[in-house]
Amino acid sequence: MTNERRPLAAIFGCAGTKLSPDEKRFFRDADPLGFIVFARNIDTPAATRALVADLRDSVGRSDAPVLIDQEGGRVSRLKPPHWRKAPPAQTFVDRAAKRGQAAALAAVRTNFRMIAAELSDLGIDVDCAPVADVPIPGSHDVIGDRAYGADPATIGLYARAVADGLLAGGVLPVVKHLPGHGRAYADSHMELPVVDTPLAELERTDFVPFKALADLPWGMTAHIRYTAIDAANPATISKTIIHDTIRRTIGFQGLLLSDDLSMQALAGTMAVRTTGCLVAGCDSVLHCNGNFAEMVEIAAAARPLDDAAMARVAVGNRLRRERRQADFDLAAAAAELQAFLAA
């Protein structure tokens, strides 16, 4: 793979609904792996398509991945009136009590096949879903209704339905947050959560959905310190957690992204955070807030994708092509989903 073009091991956001001249020059020179868009970047469908195209044009790669967090519920970057209001994960779990789990799983798949159609229409080809975290009573509601219940095995089934729906629409899923965010008593956007649960209990519960999803093409780490595995470092910058827990125990071999570097759970400068993630074993860092100075610092500290990461990107691209299903009746899917939700 030595003759292949190697993008920078970073995924960046941008500040607004259009790229500034400085952003265009920076992205051209830095050549990040890809981009992520947020609500601040979303205007009309036409404007969003133009932004996505400009992001790819800035690096000269038509296949540069463009990510979004479109889970449904409160984590939805695409909102009415231009896009539908997709329900949160908990809604499907609640309906399953009356409609049955098989119907709920089918509805989840349909919902994310519809999300994939909405994303594909904009040129967005990676969705940061499914959430496979296992919440416990009293944990912070940063996960909350984003979780598919509280039973580890059932969560794995729902998360698989999410991934299947996205892949059928030609969109890559990103399973999160490895190796589990459900026990956090703090919001990692604001501070570093610490989990003191024994390893045997983590393996019995938190790791179960992720093991069931270990074949998925992309994943995202959790900014959480698990004292039973690494008493000093959060998962994102822990060699032990990434290599021993995520890669070996869980068996995840896909492209591994850090969670957002700008979250307050991580300490140090952006350069320190970048180096820590990549040295620990993340394939790419993720930076979401569009802060130009921070992105410049990250680009200076990051490195090009290594052989393993390049191979993982190729596997994901191949899977997206192979799993995409051309035939899809959006109106019929919407009617089917509405019937399930109304029951």
35 phi and psi, to 5 degrees? -140, 160
Token pair for 270: 């952006």
Q: Which of 22, 29, 121, 189 is catalytic?
A: 189
H helix runs in 123-206, sequence order: 152-168, 199-204
Is residue 54 among the annotated active site residues?
no
Strands of 198-341 (E only): list them.
218-221, 225-226, 255-260, 284-287
The SS3 assignment for 145 reads helix
Question: Of residues 145, 259, 260, 283, which has the active-site annotation?
Answer: 259
**Measured between alpha carbons, how far is 27 from 23 in angstroms, rounded to an integer?**
6
Q: How far apart are CA 178 and CA 259, in angstroms?
A: 10
262, two tokens: 């700008």
Assess whether 259 carries a catalytic annotation.
Answer: yes
Cβ–Cβ < 8 Å for 35, 12? yes
Q: What angle do CA 13, 18, 21 make, to 5 degrees?
A: 90
Q: Give CA separation, 230 vs 260, 278, 281, in Å.
A: 20, 17, 15
Burial class from Cβ neighbours inside 10 Å (0-12, 13-18, 19+) for residue 298 reads: buried
- As annotated, the active-site residues are 189, 259
